A and B are shown apart, each in its own frame.
Chain A
Amino acid sequence: DVKVTQSSRYLVKRTGEKVFLECVQDMDHENMFWYRQDPGLGLRLIYFSYDVKMKEKGDIPEGYSVSREKKERFSLILESASTNQTSMYLCASSLRNSRGYTFGSGTRLTVV
């Protein structure tokens, strides 16, 4: 069964910490995405990548960066965590010419 795996289901971090959220897919997908989901706001795209070492800003990239050193792994980095980054973070992947995504189960991050 194909999978997108996010390293943590729940994470609690302190304000100002550097936070790494990891996502790994085993489907040899070219495209990978990071979304955050908040009540009343739906899913919002933070960053995406369509190839190794390539990245594109989504709708809300401020306060985040990403890394894609290997095809299967896409990392989201919070340089200095803040309480307004408390959210559910969802990773997804897709083939380059596909119109369907596969999502991970999400990481619920709490910044205190």
Chain B
Amino acid sequence: LAKTTQPISMDSYEGQEVNITCSHNNIATNDYITWYQQFPSQGPRFIIQGYKTKVTNEVASLFIPADRKSSTLSLPRVSLSDTAVYYCLVGDTYNQGGKLIFGQGTELSVKP
């Protein structure tokens, strides 16, 4: 399973765009990149997943360069309620029995 590296913490202000970058230098051909969000005292919640280029949904965008050795989660116009821990995961759960390994995550703090 590819190891990921992401910043431990980030600060932002309401209304700003936030970009969180994750490094995964030894990503394998079959690996997907998945991001989860976790609020205090709750389980992580799936945000977005991608394999290459760009993926966008109603919550976020995920940018993946051609070499796939990193990825960037982009949160447009954050609000106070986006304060959470964001996890980047890399793996091919289908071929690995469904197993995902979580890293330390990035603690995002959004200020008024």
A residues contacting B by CB (< 8 A) are: 4, 30-31, 33, 35, 40, 42-45, 48, 50, 56, 58-59, 88, 90-92, 94, 96-106, 108
Contact = CB atoms under 8 A, between A and B. Distances in A.
A106 B41 contact: yes
B49 A48 contact: no
Contact of B45 (A42, A56, A103, A106): A103
Contact of B46 (A30, A40, A88, A102): A102
B43 A106 contact: yes
B102 A43 contact: yes
Given A42-B87, A99-B92, A103-B43, 8 more contacts: A33-B98, A43-B102, A45-B99, A48-B99, A94-B93, A99-B49, A100-B49, A106-B42
Contacts of A40: 104
Looking at chain A's contact residues, the main secondary structure is strand
Given A42-B105, A50-B98, A99-B34, A90 B43 contact: yes
Contacts of A101: 36, 44, 46, 100
Given A50-B98, A58-B99, A99 B32 contact: yes
B98 A31 contact: yes
A100 B98 CA distance: 9
Nearest to A6: B43
Contacts of B93: 31, 94, 98-99
Contacts of B7: none
B15 interface: no
28 contacts: A4-B43, A30-B98, A33-B98, A33-B99, A42-B104, A43-B44, A43-B87, A44-B102, A45-B101, A48-B97, A48-B98, A48-B99, A50-B98, A59-B101, A88-B41, A91-B43, A94-B98, A96-B98, A98-B93, A99-B92, A100-B49, A101-B46, A103-B42, A103-B44, A105-B41, A105-B42, A106-B41, A106-B43
